[in-house]
Structure 1
Amino acid sequence: MRMANTTGSWLREPIREDVADLWRLHEVHCTADTEFQRMLIARTRLGVTLFCDDNPQSAECGQLAFHEAELIPAALLAEQVRRVLVIGCSEGPVPQIAAELGAERVDHVDIDPECVRLCADHLPFGYTPEDVKRAEHWEGPVRLHYADGADFVAEALRRGDSYDVIVLDLPEEDQDSTEGYNAMYGQEFFETYRRLLTPGGVLSTHVSRPHLSFPTAETADSLRRPWQQLGRTFDTRVFFRSTEQPWAAIMIGSPTRRADPVRRMRERLAEIDYTPRTIDAEELRGATYLPLALR
């Protein structure tokens, strides 16, 4: 156990080679070097905040808007939401929302069991320790699998499994990194996800936050590349940029061709059993407007 990359009561988050964010840490709740990453949970101005490898993953203030953005638009576009696959999201909110939506089975895949359990112990949102124990024993709709996401996807295909919604809540993509999760953002994996979806299923993935917070000449390409990959793989695609949470820029794709996917999403909003707190019909209209780089 040790402090992350901090100077006194500050954490330095590298954004690019020439830009860094400084986070004031008012109270450190937990630090750990797990088998896979360096964790820090601390109280910041955004409330209790999770950092992995000095990168903020979610914070008490705004986490619901981020996690609803990852799942709700995709769930509204899908034909049904009986089986959901969530890769990442150590904190647990996305699997929990999927269960509230009425999913009969939610497979939650995370590579780092220590991170999942420490989040449950210290974060005031997401899983509680009791939730984790139930999910680990598959007692209820949420089933925790401690595994590499790519390995789980390959095995699911071999078993002939399929999902109505797949949510990728992975660490931010870094094309210059050798981290294995980067491959899961690639074209080959987009095609693999399509094979794992039911005919009316939907894939949801987020776009890297630093490119959104600090625009550069490369920012437009960081949006275009995954958008073009979705276009090469799926017959319908939707961009969703939350007005409630600046980090939440989501791209979703479906193998089912729909002439007006946003209209379908707005109509279905009143039909689902879950009432989003950060997304309504007008948000769906405005947040799905394509940025200029994608038009």
Structure 2
Amino acid sequence: MKNSRWYIEQTSEDEILCHSLKEIIYSGKSPYQRIEIIQAGNFGKCLFLDGRMQSAEADEFIYHEALVHPVMLLSDSAKRVLIAGGGEGATLREVLKHPVEEVVMVDLDETVIRISQEYLPEWSMRAFEDPRVKLIIDDARAYIEKTSRYFDVVIIDLPEPEDEGPAFLLYTKEFYEKVKECLKENGMMVTQSASASLINLKVFSSIIRTLREVFPYVKPYIAYIPSFFSPWGFTIASKRKDPGKAEEALNEKLSFIERKLRFYDLESHKSMFSLPKHIRTVIENRGVVISDNSPLSFY
């Protein structure tokens, strides 16, 4: 091998990933986490938080389109949207492709937002300058617990929680109950739901099981993210509407936005929501309810 510099990412006690390191673009710390941006051989510019890949130039569009557009199009209304997390700005970028009236984005780490705008401007595409956007620097749970506002759609784009980390209590039953309270009666939420790889399905299945304790309608789906080296889990939950029975109107709704997208279309939607048998089996038979008293570290 000619390359002698590698960025080593530890994804579990038993697994590491190596990314060829062409350049360290930024390295620093915020009050909450370590922030690194590197130039990698295969994936271009990459954002790492606490040593774990969050987003890569080559394929971030897959993750962000998969996270945002199903819930936006399956919802009866998506005029008022809340984003929890999403500091790079790409989730916000995708939401603004819809005719929304207001987007409230709440993120704890102002440094991630600032550094991403400086070094990763392709992610946000100046989305923070849109007059429909209200950016709030706060803990997402604290904001959701105290807000008196109601939203059509809530999008949860937070890092996976580690012990005592900033997202540790943002995947619990109590948190999802508060999210439910701030949704309108016909509202929907979606959350990134961690790896859906064969060796790490406990986390994905636990998020689904926890959401089922709170919402009457819960629909998981997956998309393969090359820079994560894994199929990635997402979960939609709704107070009144079964997401699985809302697909009939998708084709018509997609017509106004599909030309703006690189990954998501009707065929991709069907593929994402068609889970393999082994994943369906684990979802139905494993997983734990995540609570404030019994949080789950993803690592």
CA gap 1:126/1:88 in 2 versus in 1, 3 angstroms: same
2:63 is matched with: 66
Measured after TM superposition, the shift of residue 267 of structure 1 is 3.9
Measured after TM superposition, the shift of residue 263 of structure 1 is 2.3
Structure 1 stretches of 5 or more lacking a match?
Answer: 1-7
The 10-residue stretch of structure 1 (98-107 or 252-261) with the greater mean CA deviation from structure 2: 252-261
Which one-letter code corresponds to 1:242 in the other structure? A
1:80 to 77, 81, 89: 77
TM-score, structure 2 as length reference: 0.83
Structure 2 stretches of 5 or more lacking a match?
Answer: 285-299
Confirm or deny that 1:141 pairs with 2:127. Answer: no
CA gap 1:268/1:161 in 2 versus in 1, 3 angstroms: farther
Confirm or deny that 1:270 pairs with 2:258. Answer: no
- Quick check: 1:109–1:149 contact (8 Å CA) kept in 2? yes
1:173 is matched with: 161
- Quick check: 1:96–1:142 contact (8 Å CA) kept in 2? no
Q: Percent identity?
A: 23
CA gap 1:119/1:278 in 2 versus in 1, 3 angstroms: same
- Quick check: 1:266–1:284 contact (8 Å CA) kept in 2? no
The one-character-per-residue Cα deviations of 1:216-241 (angstroms, maximum 9, x if unpaired) are: 3xx33322211112222112222221
2:115 to 115, 118, 125: 118
1:27 to 9, 23, 26: 23
Confirm or deny that 1:241 pairs with 2:222. Answer: yes
1:5 is matched with: none
Which one-letter code corresponds to 2:156 in the other structure? L
1:284 to 256, 262, 269: 269
Which one-letter code corresponds to 1:168 in the other structure? I
Q: How many residues end up aligned between the 2 structures? A: 272
2:212 is matched with: 231
Measured after TM superposition, the shift of residue 269 of structure 1 is 3.5
Confirm or deny that 1:208 pairs with 2:194. Answer: yes
SS at match of 1:65: helix
TM-score, structure 1 as length reference: 0.85
SS at match of 1:178: coil
Measured after TM superposition, the shift of residue 260 of structure 1 is 4.0
When the two chains are superposed, the root-mean-square deviation of aligned CA atoms in Å is 2.1
1:194 is matched with: 180
